[in-house]
Structure 1
Amino acid sequence: MPRKPQDENTPSKESVRARSPTMADIARLAGVSASTVSRSLAGLPEISEETRIRVERAAQEAGYKINRHARSLRLQRSAILLVLIPDLANQNYSDLLMNIDRAAFELGYGIMIGHTNVDLERPDRLADELFTGGIDGILLTSGYCPARIRSRIENGSRLPVVRTMSPTEAGSGIASVQIDEVEAAADVVRHLIANGHRRIAHLAGPMTELVSQLRRDGWRRALAEAGLPEGQDLLLPGGFHLEDGKAVARRLIAAGTLPDAIFCGNDESAFGLMTELKRSGVRIPNDIAVAGFDDLTFSQVFDPPLTTVRLPRREMAEASVLYLKQMIEGGASLEDQIVPHELIIRESSGPGSPHRDRS
């Protein structure tokens, strides 16, 4: 719906806040008609998403209190999304959750949190409320999916469930919003190759997790493209935690030989690896280059700052909440949405010393 131009009679936000705002005030602030404001605040489907968001922002700025409970009763929905999070202490998930909460509010939803690493009984019980009307949809942020939800999907049910940030297997029946994990990992390794590194190892995450398998595949893809060896000694079993990186570093030091570079499956394991290497007198990137995956806050201030893939947490949150809303309202087909990733180049992946043997 085209936006109506504002004129000199449009009230300022401050003047509207000074009294009880009316729908006519909100209409003038948003540049739409009063009837559009009424239909938008009622949650009626004929209003476009862009217009509805603009109207709600104008209402909030004017101090108009939107009765979301009354609207959800009219629509016979709870207006609540369940977000299943494995680890709230992990910055990836805390940042994602913050962006999900903001995106959900913008679209007229509240969120409920199920912490799956603490106790599966409670989040599974919360997920059951999808069948009783207590929640409208579920956002998965890891490979975990409650048994009853998974069972119904495997039996052909179409449920409003979206997985984000964590990859999902093809044919799983679960819609997803994610990055291309394989290509993102390959981009890191291509960068290391462009910096002159030839023996490039991969500190892998747990191979029981799909994300670890995909990042390993990206490492292999880039090596194959460049005609470089993927020797068995270059695939380093590890994990996603600090201690995993430290353990791999100790094994390398004990073996007495270092690869030119190591691509770590995530930033946290890279921090552990780099800490232990530096403790043993190894210089980064002079003696060995290191790169990670995630772009956690500390990646830019670590010594040296870490080259990594930036996960687009805000974009994934916004896209997944919007996608879930469309599924709830019956207007979305089952598909995977790919959000662009970004390679962040910092000092840790530099070319190293010119005397290093690269044969």
Structure 2
Amino acid sequence: MPKRPTVYDVAQAAGVSIATVSFAFRQPERVRASTRETVLAAARALNYVPSANARGLADGRTGALGLYSFDMFLEAVETGGARPVSEDPGPFFGADASERAFADDADAEDFRVFPLYVDEVQRGFELECARRGRALLIGRGTATDRAGIIDIASRVDGLAVFPGARSAELIAQVSRRLPVVAFAMPFGQGELHHVQVDNAGGTEALTEHLVTVHGITDIAFVGAPEMPDYAERFTGMCRALTRLGLPAPDAVLDPTALVDDNPFAVIRTLAASGRLPRALVCASDQHALDLIEVLRSLGVDVPGQVAVTGFDGVVAGRLSDPPLTTVRQPMEAMGRLAVDILMESLAKRGAAALDRTLPVRMVVRRSCGCPSA
């Protein structure tokens, strides 16, 4: 086998230092475009590929960033709260045992478990890692799966995390070992960096729209407030109602979680007795999209009888019937910002934890009673 080219070979071929070669791959913004192209051309000619392991031995860094999600669906399966995707939903006609393992069972799955919001933030994180020449490791698990996040943390220089309902202590533990950015968690004590959005402001604007534009005064909240961002959204709705001189509820109307054995039980009961509120502000788009389907199955017209709003701004909301009125988070920007914070933390060890709250935008469509834009 021919000798594998090294960074020294590339440096000699390009007529630059080994530090310049390293910067050309790891921190391209620090190298002039013409010099970087010379280095890359030499690397291509030599079939040189940088080694993350070698870099780690040299400076204790891997050159990779990580993205970890505490998956609510996995937690529900772990506790018996949802049907595992692998559970047999019925016969597959014309498929043998090996083919069944690869059969498309999407129709039998609960779309509420698909991490639509996570996917869009992840895309921004991926794009920014690619722009900066950073490798990316992605993992997911439950709050009780300590080994999963520890394994990812041991392989990367910095980590971004989508928290779960019981993950705060584990995330704090990891943050003592390397820079960590948490999405959708309130800023507090400790070493965590935070990227979040104006949750309360978003639902406050939605609620004001329902009251002032549509004249609706009977408004309730749907979704379990176990996640901090959901709780903030409930607070925003209540704040708007109080400011507009209307009674604010003490608790959410229907505490359905994204993964629930008996979703929207309260809504079903109220629909059966004809006592549904005139508008339902949902904790997320995934709640809202599923709720619209449930209401349709109960013979309730949206928005004719009940207006429904969401929060997140996922693409599925544009395609639903009716299209979903929602609050759009800048999800790609959140992912890119997390990479920025991690890179800054690596460059300035010991810097104070950062808290970044991004603005949101109300998007009005037909589910609240407005004509589609």
User: TM-score, with normalisation over the residues of structure 2?
Assistant: 0.71
Q: 1:208/1:246 Cα in 2 relative to 1: closer, same or farther (>3 Å)?
A: closer
Residue 85 (structure 1) aligned to one of 69, 72, 77: 69
Q: Is the 8 A contact 1:295 1:309 kept in 2?
A: yes
Report whether the alignment pairs 1:348 with 2:371. no
Q: Is the 8 A contact 1:265 1:293 kept in 2?
A: yes
Q: Is the 8 A contact 2:220 2:281 kept in 1?
A: yes
Partner of 2:254: helix, strand, or coil?
Answer: strand
Whole-angstrom CA distance in 2 between matches of 1:340 and 1:178: 9
Runs of at least 5 residues in structure 2 that lack an aligned partner in the other structure? 1-9, 74-113
Residue 271 (structure 2) aligned to one of 250, 253, 265: 253
Q: Cα RMSD over matched residues?
A: 3.8
User: TM-score, with normalisation over the residues of structure 1?
Assistant: 0.73
- Residue 67 of structure 1 corresponds to 50
- Residue 355 of structure 1 corresponds to none
Q: 1:146/1:304 Cα in 2 relative to 1: closer, same or farther (>3 Å)?
A: closer
Q: 1:122/1:231 Cα in 2 relative to 1: closer, same or farther (>3 Å)?
A: closer
Report whether the alignment pairs 1:320 with 2:338. yes
- Residue 24 of structure 2 corresponds to 41
Whole-angstrom CA distance in 1 between matches of 2:326 and 2:115: 17
Q: Is the 8 A contact 1:286 1:351 kept in 2?
A: no
Q: 1:80/1:94 Cα in 2 relative to 1: closer, same or farther (>3 Å)?
A: same
Q: Is the 8 A contact 1:41 1:66 kept in 2?
A: no
Runs of at least 5 residues in structure 1 that lack an aligned partner in the other structure? 1-21, 27-32, 353-359
Residue 218 (structure 2) aligned to one of 193, 199, 222: 199
Partner of 2:67: helix, strand, or coil?
Answer: strand
Whole-angstrom CA distance in 1 between matches of 2:304 and 2:234: 25
Cα distance, 1:104 vs structure 2: 1.5
- Residue 10 of structure 1 corresponds to none
Residue 209 (structure 1) aligned to one of 215, 227, 237: 227
**CA shift digits 1:242-290 (9 cap, x unpaired):** 8765434312212322222110111122122211222222221121111
Please give the residue correspondences for 1:1-359 in structure 2 after superposition, counting only pairs within 5 Å: 40-41=23-24, 43=26, 64=44, 67=50, 69=52, 74-87=58-71, 89-117=114-142, 120-127=145-152, 129=154, 134-143=155-164, 145=167, 147=169, 150-151=172-173, 157=176, 159-164=178-183, 166-196=184-214, 197-205=216-224, 207-231=225-249, 235-241=253-259, 246-330=264-348, 332-350=351-369
Q: How many residues align?
A: 313
Residue identity opposite 1:160 in structure 2: P
Cα distance, 1:334 vs structure 2: 1.1
Partner of 1:177: helix, strand, or coil?
Answer: strand
Whole-angstrom CA distance in 1 between matches of 2:121 and 2:128: 10
Cα distance, 1:195 vs structure 2: 2.1
Q: Is the 8 A contact 1:137 1:160 kept in 2?
A: yes
Residue identity opposite 2:325 in structure 1: T
Structure number with the bigger relative contact order (C-alpha 8 A, sep ≥ 6) is 2
Whole-angstrom CA distance in 2 between matches of 1:344 and 1:237: 24
